[in-house]
Structure 1
Amino acid sequence: MPSNTDRPSSSAAPKPRKTYRHGDLRAALIEAGLALAREGGPQAVVLREATRRAGVAPNAAYRHFANHQALFEAVRAATLGALARAMEIELHTAEALPDPTERARAMLAAIGRGYLGFAQAETGWFRTAFAFGAFDVEVPPDPARAADKGLNPFELLSYALDTLVQSGVLPAERRPGAEFLAWSSVHGLALLIIDGPLRHAPQDMRMALSLRLLRMVENGL
């Protein structure tokens, strides 16, 4: 992954746009917010800087976002959508396996690999995706938070766990709440890798720990 020093400086002059079609400015502000989040995480998503990068006056943002929080929530939704796409990329190969049991097990592991890989490759977006916001595990469908399947990251995990039940790998009575147990385990390792004592660990060590954790999650469930 490119380091922050490999990306354009936030002090680079924006490319102003003279006109915007309906909706273009909103998309441009979200795009600018995503660039800020990628560089510096949730704290870097500042409305004034987003408007500067979009090449408009700060007041122009209020045509589409009531305040900074509204812009931030739109950016956060987009980072969740990016995470969902990363998880689906891993999931596609697993779903193609012919054996139902093998496919179900591979799907759960794929969800975890995609999640951990995204945390390391897009750390700023990962931190933004899980920055403080309204309780949003059960929310109305939002295409911005989803990828091709129309599922957000939490729903993709639930989908994989439901497949484990359907294949007979996971007893139905152990299904309720299983997503929170699996999620907390994988999310914990992600934080240890990007912010904790494993942040300087060699890549092969991170990979070995990730694979072992994913097996542990399946066995534990």
Structure 2
Amino acid sequence: MPATRSSYHHGDLRAALVAAGVDVVRERGPDALAVRELARRVGVSHNAAYRHFANRDELVAAVAQVALVAMTRAGEERLDAIQDPDPRRRARRRLHEVGRSYVDYALAEPGLFRVAFAAYPSQTSESAGPAALDDELAVAGPFLQLCSILDELAESGFLAAEARPGAEFVCWAAVHGQAMLFLEGPLQGLTDAERRPLVEALLRTVDRSYGATSGDVSALD
């Protein structure tokens, strides 16, 4: 049964509303998010819910924060597992893994993946990002994970220094585009066994294109 108004302590209601929002997004997608709907789910008045979220944008930002934190943590766990003494090979393997993690999260959590970018903080400057996304992991997000790895590639000499500026946008567009093709485009009917080679082919293409900037044509094991 839904909780009653009196059962919430200070701060608990906001968390309950966000958790309900995550459930709604998983069930019906970001378009279904509405403050009044969540108030009904949680069992409180509309006015009580609006004390925590003045409008739908604030609600979307809060649920997006949850999605970004989960997405970032998933990527970090997989990146931390890569241990390679060679800095160039390690950076290349990390680039592959962050791409795989990105697509895997999109397929595992399509609703949360979509809502994450409905309120994604701008990363074009150090000061960018809405105050609602104040969690460190959410503000960093998968985009800055990618930027950090590309910096490692440049430092290792695999990616030429002159090719580093803007490389994150090309790489992100490629992986995000593939994820959306799997979710909503002509590739949405593929099985995991059919998708996996396409993901690996894309990541190999990105790897080769970056290696070409420095003349490194070696294949990644």
- Shorter chain as normaliser: what TM range? 0.7 to 0.9
Q: Which moved more, 1:67-76 or 1:181-190?
A: 67-76
Partners of 2:120 and 2:84 in 1: how far apart?
38
Which residue matches 2:219? none
The residue identity in structure 1 corresponding to 2:183 is: I
8 Å Cα contact 1:15-1:53 kept in structure 2: no
8 Å Cα contact 2:35-2:53 kept in structure 1: no
**Aligned counterparts, 1:5-20, within 5 A:** 14-16=2-4, 18-20=6-8
Which residue matches 1:55? 43
Residue 83 of structure 1, aligned match among 53, 71, 86: 71
Once the two structures are TM-superposed, the CA of residue 99 in structure 1 deviates from its matched residue by 1.6
Which residue matches 1:198? 187
The residue identity in structure 2 corresponding to 1:55 is: G
Partners of 2:136 and 2:13 in 1: how far apart?
20
Gaps of 5+ in 1: 1-12
Distance 1:161 1:118, change over 3 A: same
> Given the two structures, how large is their TM-score scaled by the length of structure 1?
0.85
Once the two structures are TM-superposed, the CA of residue 134 in structure 1 deviates from its matched residue by 7.2
The ranges of structure 1 where at least 4 consecutive aligned residues each deviate by more than 3 angstroms after the TM superposition are 140-145
Output one character per residue of 1:87-136: Cα deviation in whole Å (capped at 9) or x when no partner.
11221112x222211110011111101100001000111111123x4762
Which residue matches 1:7? none
Partners of 1:134 and 1:171 in 2: how far apart?
29
Q: What's the secondary structure of 2:81's corresponding residue?
A: helix
Which residue matches 2:95? 108
Percent identical residues: 46
Partners of 2:181 and 2:81 in 1: how far apart?
27
Q: What's the secondary structure of 1:108's corresponding residue?
A: helix
Match status 1:124 vs 2:115 = no
8 Å Cα contact 2:35-2:50 kept in structure 1: no
Once the two structures are TM-superposed, the CA of residue 19 in structure 1 deviates from its matched residue by 2.9
The residue identity in structure 1 corresponding to 2:87 is: P
Which residue matches 2:201? 212
Output one character per residue of 1:138-194: Cα deviation in whole Å (capped at 9) or x when no partner.
4248453617xx731111110111111111111111110000000000011001111
Partners of 1:36 and 1:162 in 2: how far apart?
37
Which residue matches 2:177? 188
> Given the two structures, how large is their TM-score scaled by the length of structure 2?
0.85
8 Å Cα contact 1:87-1:111 kept in structure 2: yes
8 Å Cα contact 2:64-2:120 kept in structure 1: no
Distance 1:144 1:39, change over 3 A: farther
Partners of 1:162 and 1:77 in 2: how far apart?
25
8 Å Cα contact 1:14-1:55 kept in structure 2: yes
